[in-house]
Chains A and B, each alone.
Chain A
Amino acid sequence: MISRSVEAREQEVLSAVALNAMIPLANERTLQAVYYILRGRKANQTLQDVHLYSLYPYYRMFPHFSKEKWDKIVSNLVQRGCIQVRTVSGMNGKSTFVVTPEGLRYASEQSNHYQLPRWLSPFSAWLLTFNLEIFWKRIHLLVQTVSQLAAARMDFIPVVTDRRIQSWVKLQLRNGEVRERWQAHLGDELYKLWSPLPAQVQQILAGQLTGAEHTGRTSGQLAAEMDLSPSQFQLLFRYGLASSVERLQQEKEAFSLLRILLDADHQERGDVRLSESAAKTYALVQRGISKADIARIRRIKESTVEDHLVEMALRCPEWDASEYLSSELAAAIVHTSEKLGTGRLRLIKDHLGTEVSYLHIRLALARNRGEATS
């Protein structure tokens, strides 16, 4: 029972999301950069763009976005007169784009129609480093396992095949006393967590779960039943996950069981604010090792270490960057950026002269941005 207008709505939702993500990047970045953000590319450049332009809700919104589909969305937006691609000097021949007045109008119209501001509201800088997919798989397998425990039938096939998720769940439910608590209260805690959410979102979350007496629906099945296009579904699903995480974060004491879903992520991968690799670099930096030595020790390129430094500048306000950037120079760079009204490194560098390196500029902008958000 798939309604025939689903495809049309899918195009509209994708266009609306893409266009809203494009607006802050107009004149500054390529269209490709927007695509990388929506797909959730792990490159440092992409992560920096997300921070620099506060595009947190958009990062990894559509992890399976194909290039083909993206090109189609872009050409639709061009045809509608919403955006224009143009080549400018000073970007190594790369082309940027502008969003037309019609584009701005269309973005806000569609934004209202599909309630984008609402569904994008719970995403913060902190959430960026939190893995929502792992969070969801853990909930999924916890519910299934506790349900099977309650039914006293442990011969079940887990819906989550990921070994690490399986051993994590096993660890949480290792002894009898703890198990009883989960059996007694998991349903209540989930109810408390999800009942404030809109009914559609509740249905998307709970409808996918599997228990001893009930097999969950796939996202495709639920979307069809609820008459949502795949991207609409994804928008609401991510809203549900992000809201759950935020709420658990804010009211830890109220969720004595479910709050472990937050703790565990920290233990597993070092400094949760950083990418895995950057966290390793940060650990070495804290021991006073220079960037050339870090590159040698870790067998990575020095430029990669520099990427990590920028990430640290962005997300670790306690890090003292003075070894790489004096506060005077930082201030000068930020000032220039504001005066020129751009975050483009090349333009800033041309203005300040050769003794200022790209690393200086990137660190200064990142630090400035990090302070603004923390």
Chain B
Amino acid sequence: MSTSLQAHLQRHFGYETFRAGQEDIIRGVLAGANVLGVLATGGGKSVTYQLPALMLPGITVVVSPLISLMMDQVQQMRAQRRIAATYLNSLLDPADMREVMREIERGMYKLVYISPEKLQQSYVQALLKKVGVSLIAIDEAHCISQWGHDFRTDYLRLPEVVRALGNPPVLAVTATATTAVREEICSLLKIKPEHVVLQSLNRKNIAIDIIPAADESERRSQVLRQMDEWKGQGIVYCSTRQAVEVLATSYQLEGKRRVHAYHGGMNSMERMLIQQQFLSGDLDMIVATNAFGMGIDKPDIRFVIHYQLPANMEAYVQEIGRVGRDGEAGYAALYYTREDVQIHQYMIEREYPTRRQIDLLAELLRQQQPLTPEVLASIELTQEMADLLLFYAQRVSTASREEVAASLEPGMELRDHADQVYGELERRKLLKQRKLAEMIRFAEERENCLRKRINGYFGEMGHEYTLQCCSVCGLERSLYKESRQTENVGRIETSWDLRQALSVLLPK
């Protein structure tokens, strides 16, 4: 078995050996068990469902919450011609959607990436049932947990979908999961303790640094100066698009290295070009929001800097996890001022509807108004917020009536249970507040080893390191810096030659 698995790995992916945990996960899946795999960011999660997809008779469905990530992955697989893969999500227009569904029906694909909300739709379920699903892989499985930092209501409906598809084996994978989250994933998806494959999330080669700053202006000048100094290529994360623009633009005025901004407000072609330039080494640094990094497989990123406090430990660990996947030494620094907290407080507040909005929505539903984007905009609700409210209303009311069938009158449900629904939202908000408080405590930690703090948060004991540990244990920052005398950037004063420019692109 093992040799044949390795032969498949070699043939399809070109790797000699499995990374830690991969083989155990794949074996469990092929034996028909439900499995939870916790692998560090960059630990090769995708191989754990892509390889079985090639070996199993039916199709493998991959549930992924991030549309851009699923499109990237499918794009890459198409480029490498490794597995016949496609995706179904809300960005496909109806004509494309129909075409892809016809192709799935004809058996053109082994691997189908799908967003959780598309998977709820009955015609999609009917199609999948018809062609036969051999495995349901749930990426970012922590989204199913209400204790998680990234809970999504449509993930909570996944157990029903698994049932509807005839209970094929389930593989849940994630890179971040605390003990409580792991337990919830296992109970919801019926995964036995012996089928949990847990790999150490400790990243030995990354040195952890925290740098407090008195205020924003001090921090900015500090970071702008150090952007000249850090060794190798890296990412600087900011909390908002505006902060990204300000930092990138200020650096471009004075700095010595090649830097560009990246955030969701830029158009897709620009983002592709910037990403490509970073991958090919034309750019030294990307200043980005958390929109950058998902699905980017660059082994030699040498540093990740958090210009501002991340929203929670999970996001922080995921982002610094992009450093040094090649195993060479890397550096992660978190800059922090007390002002950062307000941004997150504001974002948490804005993420949830107010009590008044709940009542307004209930009223609209009672009047049988269709919930068009315009109608929702009139009470300043997003589609996600409305879905969340209806989901809770339905859950609260079925719980009280002890009936399984969903009510036909969501408006009544919402009105009758508005208090409970609002209470539920308050609990969610509180959870986010706690996660933020945990993040703040970490940023203010001056006594205990930061590596132990991180690993302890995820219920892990290991704290080995290769080069240096963290700023509490003592850190020689100069190891991650180099002096740059000459200016790298500046207009290149070569004369323009169209013939030559075209021959670089299209050589004869």
Contacts and interface: CB of A to CB of B under 8 A. Distances in A.
Nearest to B280: A215
Interface string A328-339: 000000000000
B270 A220 contact: yes
B506 A150 contact: yes
A161 B268 contact: yes
B111 to A, nearest CB: 17
A45 to B, nearest CB: 21
A227 B491 contact: yes
Interface string B66-104: 000001100110011100000000001000100000000
B491 A218 contact: no
A278 interface: no
B496 A203 contact: yes
Interface string A130-166: 0000000100100100110010001111111111000
A186 B506 contact: yes
Contacts of B260: 218, 221
Name the residue among B79, B273, B490 with the largest chain A CB count within 10 angstroms.
B273
Contacts of B273: 159, 208, 210, 215-218
Interface string A182-219: 01001100110011000100110011111101111111
Interface stretch (B127-135, B336-344, B497-505): B497-505
A202 B508 CA distance: 20
Contact of B269 (A146, A160, A190): A160
B31 interface: no
Interface in B241-279: 249, 252-253, 260, 268-270, 272-274, 276-277
A85 interface: no
Contacts of B92: 163
Interface string B269-296: 1101110110010100000000000000
A195 B506 contact: no
Contacts of B71: 161
Contacts of A1: 252-253, 489-491
- Which of B71, B260, B491, B503: most chain A Cβ within 10 A? B491
B492 interface: yes
A208 B502 CA distance: 11
Contacts of A207: 501
Contacts of A147: 505-506
A147 to B, nearest CB: 5
Nearest to B281: A215
B502 A206 contact: yes
Q: Looking at A1, A140, A156, which has the most chain B CB atoms within 10 Å of its CB? A: A1
Contacts of A356: none
Contacts of A209: 505
B507 interface: yes
B502 A215 contact: no
User: Binding site of B, secondary structure by majority: helix, strand, loop or mixed?
Assistant: helix
Nearest to B274: A218
B252 A157 contact: no
A211 B492 contact: no
Contact of A155 (B80, B499, B501, B505): B80
B254 to A, nearest CB: 10
Contact of B79 (A154, A225, A227): A154
A187 B269 contact: no
A158 B74 CA distance: 12
A202 B496 contact: yes
Contact of A219 (B76, B253, B270): B270
A300 interface: no
Contact of A157 (B270, B272, B489, B508): B272
Interface string B122-150: 00000000000000000000000000000
Interface in A210-241: 210-211, 213-221, 224-225, 227
A180 to B, nearest CB: 13
Contacts of A215: 273, 276-277, 280, 282
Nearest to A156: B79
A67 to B, nearest CB: 16
Contacts of B280: 215
Contacts of B508: 187
B276 A187 contact: no
A43 interface: no
Interface in B211-264: 249, 252-253, 260
Given A1-B252, A215-B282, A217-B273, A187 B79 contact: no
A146 B506 contact: yes
Contacts of B490: 1
Nearest to A157: B75
A202 B505 contact: no
A292 interface: no
A254 interface: no
Nearest to A151: B507
Contacts of B499: 191
Contacts of A206: 498, 501-502, 505
A260 interface: no
B503 to A, nearest CB: 6
A2 B253 contact: yes
Name the residue in B75, B80, B81 with the highest tally of chain A Cβ atoms < 10 Å from its Cβ.
Answer: B75
Contacts of A213: 504, 507
| Max count, chain B CB within 10 A of own CB: residue among A140, A158, A206, A224 | A206
A227 to B, nearest CB: 7
A337 B269 CA distance: 47
Nearest to A200: B496
Nearest to B82: A155
B274 A195 contact: no
Given A1-B489, A215-B277, A219-B270, A224 B252 contact: yes
Given A154-B79, A203-B496, A214 B504 contact: yes
B387 to A, nearest CB: 26
5 contacts: A137-B269, A143-B506, A157-B72, A159-B276, A190-B502
Given A191-B498, A217-B273, 10 more contacts: A2-B249, A2-B253, A155-B80, A156-B79, A157-B79, A158-B75, A159-B272, A186-B506, A211-B504, A214-B504
